[in-house]
Amino acid sequence: MTKPNHELSPALIVLMSIATGLAVASNYYAQPLLDTIARNFSLSASSAGFIVTAAQLGYAAGLLFLVPLGDMFERRRLIVSMTLLAAGGMLITASSQSLAMMILGTALTGLFSVVAQILVPLAATLASPDKRGKVVGTIMSGLLLGILLARTVAGLLANLGGWRTVFWVASVLMALMALALWRGLPQMKSETHLNYPQLLGSVFSMFISDKILRTRALLGCLTFANFSILWTSMAFLLAAPPFNYSDGVIGLFGLAGAAGALGARPAGGFADKGKSHHTTTFGLLLLLSWLAIWFGHTSVLALIIGILVLDLTVQGVHITNQTVIYRIHPDARNRLTAGYMTSYFIGGAAGSLISASAWQHGGWAGVCLAGATIALVNLLVWWRGFHRQEAAN
């Protein structure tokens, strides 16, 4: 990949962070609105949860089939095109008159909002090696802030104009961001000689041949499953007695998650210094914050503490994972991202399904049991199979 004569300025980092957050946020506006949408379409909780699952499955498909194109085509044109197509998906969602139409819109939005995952390796390529982890950490903070603040913004906009207003406004913002990216991003032409089937095949080849990639992908999958288990069912908890909160108030809980995400920014710097195994171990231990989250069924303070710790963990482990895998094949960062993030969002989709089912059959206790079980599995996998191997590296 040819590196252009273009300095990665603070302004460009901010633009890429905002674009990444805005793109990935489009998959999460629905989460605090699930109770309202379920009543609008007369859906059960598990059926409404599939709206989030469809977005994440669309995202996983985009990661696998579209993100590798970043190693094949000129990236600015690809990024702008996908941003506009994601805006189109939200227009379908905003105008949907049935569950099927809404699922179509959210799936298409998810498919093309993977543009966020083309921006991340682009930033890593433009950054100098000694600052790569820090830059990736900043961009990834933008991504997770987008996921979390999407809930706050969605709740506030829904209170003002209904849930459809959320998607109308988000579509316009994505279109404006496409214009800003066209003006701000440098042109980067690919030098790969692989055709599309070979490009996809190389993703699987890297998975088969590289243990570190497989390790980090599995950790990311299980970690993001935890994240989705919490956030998918939290709207149902907070909309029900004893809380009875509105969409706007439910959305404000995203601010607690945003604070946790910002707290994880130093993880990239630690990874730059060769301390990735320390940040991963500490992060996975914090996933046991599900005990505090369980008390959230009666205590808002306990729930906020649990959100802060869990989101700090998810972001810290995620930043570390990406910093580690980008060292493997510098000329194939989009394909590394495709492999890793496909696993990541498969975990998210599975977590959404598990969460909705656990809520329907076991209430908040069932949700917390599911989250704690996956957190424990994640920790055991790291300690028994991978901790010693990566510490040696």
Residue 83 near residue 178, CB atoms below 8 Å: yes
| Token pair listed for 59 | 């995202």
Please report the pLDDT score of residue 284 as a whole number.
Answer: 65
Where is pLDDT greater, at 87 or 248? Answer: 87
Whole-angstrom distance, CA of residue 16 vs CA of residue 143:
10
CA dihedral 231, 235, 241, 244 (to 10 degrees): 130
The position carrying tokens 């996933």 is 287
Q: Which residues lie closer than 8 Å to 15 by C-beta, 6 or more apart?
A: 180, 181, 184
Measured CA to CA, the distance from residue 319 to residue 313 in angstroms comes to: 10
Rg of the chain over Cα atoms, rounded to whole angstroms, equals: 20
The structure's pTM equals 0.74
Please give the Cα distance from 49 to 358 (Å, whole number).
Answer: 11
Domain extents in the chain: 10-183+196-392
CA 292 to chain centre: 23
Give me the mean pLDDT over the 109-127 stretch. 90
Angle between helices 163-184 and 132-161 (to 10 degrees): 150
CATH numeric code, 10-183+196-392: 1.20.1250.20
pLDDT tens digits for 71-99?
888 999 999 999 999 999 999 999 999 99
Give the range with max mean pLDDT: 1-10, 233-242, 364-373.
364-373
Cis check: omega of the bond before 242, within 30 degrees of 0: yes
Please give the Cα distance from 98 to 104 (Å, whole number).
Answer: 10
Q: Give per-residue pLDDT as tens, 134-164.
A: 788 788 778 878 877 888 899 999 999 999 9
Which range, of 115-129, 153-167, 312-326, averages the lowest pLDDT?
312-326
